[in-house]
Amino acid sequence: MGVDITGILPTLYEHFTSQGIESGLSDAQSDFKLNSKPLKIFSGALHYFRAHPLYWRDRLKKYRAAGLNCVETYVPWNIHEPEDGSFDFGEHPDRNDFSLFLDLVQFLKIAQEEDLFVILRPGPYICAEWEFGGLPSWLLRHEDLKVRTSDSKFLFYVERYFKKLLALVEPLQFTKGGSIIAVQIENEYGNVKEDDKPIDIAYLEALKDIIKKNGIVELLFTSDTPTQGFHGALPGVLATANCDKDCGLELARLESYQPTKPLMVMEYWTGWFDHYSEKHHIQTVEQFYANLSDILMGHASFNLYMMHGGTNWGFLNGANICGATDDNSGFQPDTSSYDYHAPLAENGDYTDKYVQLQQLTAEYNELCISQPAPPEPTFREIYPEIDIIGELSLDDLIKQAQHVIQSEKLLPMEKLDINNNSGQSYGYIVYRKENIDIQAGSTLKIEGHVCDTVIVLINGKLVSNVFNSEEDLNGFGYWRAKDSLLNLGSENYQSATLDLVVENFGRVNYGKLYQFNQHKGLWQGNVLINDRIVSDWKIIPLEFKKKWNQTLTDWKTPTFLNGPRLYRAVLTIDSEPQDTYIDFKGWNKGVVIVNGFVLSRYFKIGPQQSAFLPAPFLKEGDNEILMFEHLVPGTFIDFCGNPYFQTMGDGRILRTLLC
> What positions carry a catalytic annotation?
188, 267
Q: Tell me which residue of 227, 201, 47 sits closest to 119, measured CA to CA.
A: 47
Judged by DSSP in three states, 282 sits in coil
Q: What is the 3 state secondary structure string of 473-497?
A: HHCCCCCCCCCEEEECCCCCEEEEE
What type of residue sits at position 316?
L
- Is residue 447 within 8 A of residue 528, CB to CB? The reply is yes
Position 637: which residue type?
I
- Contact call for residues 623 and 595 (beta carbons, < 8 A): yes
Q: Do 591 and 601 form a contact (C-beta atoms < 8 A)? A: yes
Q: How far apart are the first and last CA of the chain?
A: 30
Q: In whole angstroms, what is the distance from residue 295 CA to residue 135 CA? A: 32
Residue 474 falls in which region: left (phi positive, over 0), alpha (psi -120 to 50) or beta: alpha
Q: What share of the chain is helix, strand, coil (3-state, %, to 5)?
A: 25, 30, 50
Which amino acid, residue 471?
E
Q: Within 10 A of 151 (CB to CB), how many other CB atoms are there?
A: 16
Among the listed residues 394, 354, 404, 361, the one whose alpha carbon sits nearest the alpha carbon of residue 375: 354
Cα–Cα distance, 316 to 125 (Å, whole number) = 15
Buried b (16+ CB within 10 A) or exposed e, 425-460: bbbbbbbbbeeeebeeebebbbebbbbbbbbbbbee
Q: Where are the beta strands (DSSP E) in 403-480?
A: 405-407, 428-438, 443-446, 453-458, 461-462
**CA distance linking residue 610 with residue 603, whole number of Å:** 10
